[in-house]
Amino acid sequence: MPVLTRLIPSPVVVDIRPGALDDLAGVLADQRISSSGKLAIAISGGSGAVLRERLAPALPSAEWFEVGGGTLDDAIKLADAMKKKGRYDAVVGLGGGKIIDCAKFAAARVGLPLVAVATNLSHDGLCSPVATLDNDAGRGSYGVPNPIAVVIDLDVIREAPVRFVRSGIGDALSNISAIRDWELAARERGEDIDGLAAAMARQAGEAVLRHPGGVGDDGFLQVLAEGLVLTGIAMSVSGDSRPASGACHEINHAFDLLFPKRAASHGEQCGLGAAFAMHLRGAKEESAFMAEVLRRHGLPVLPAEIGFSVDEFVQVVEYAPTTRPGRYTILEHLNLNTDQIRDAYADYAKTIGS
Ligand SMILES: [Zn+2]
**Predicted confidence pLDDT, tens digits, the chain (354 residues):** 666 788 888 999 999 999 999 999 999 998 899 989 999 999 998 778 899 999 999 999 999 999 988 899 999 999 999 999 889 999 999 999 899 999 999 999 999 999 999 999 999 988 988 898 988 877 788 999 999 999 999 999 999 899 999 999 999 999 999 999 999 999 999 999 999 999 999 999 999 999 999 999 999 999 999 999 999 999 999 999 999 999 999 999 999 999 989 989 999 999 999 999 999 999 999 999 999 999 999 999 999 999 999 999 999 999 999 999 999 999 999 999 999 999 999 999 999 986
CATH topology of domain 13-159: Rossmann fold (3.40.50)
Write out the residue limits of the CATH 3.40.50.1970 domain(s) in the chain. Answer: 13-159
Cα 249 to ligand 1 centroid, rounded to whole Å: 6
Cα 26 to ligand 1 centroid, rounded to whole Å: 31
Q: What is the 3-state secondary structure (H, E, C) of 20-85?
A: HHHHHHHHHCCCCCCCCCCEEEEEECCCHHHHHHHHHHHCCCCEEEEECCCEHHHHHHHHHHHHHH
Question: Residue 320 has what DSSP assignment?
Answer: G
Q: What's this model's pTM, rounded to 2 decimal places?
A: 0.95
CATH architecture of the domain with residue range 162-352: Up-down Bundle (1.20)
Tell me how crowded residue 190 is: count the other CB atoms within 10 A of its CB.
7
Cα 270 to ligand 1 centroid, rounded to whole Å: 7
Q: Are 245 and 274 in contact (CB under 8 A)?
A: no
Cα 226 to ligand 1 centroid, rounded to whole Å: 15
**Cα–Cα distance list, 74 to 68, 79, 85 (Å):** 6, 9, 16
Cα 67 to ligand 1 centroid, rounded to whole Å: 23
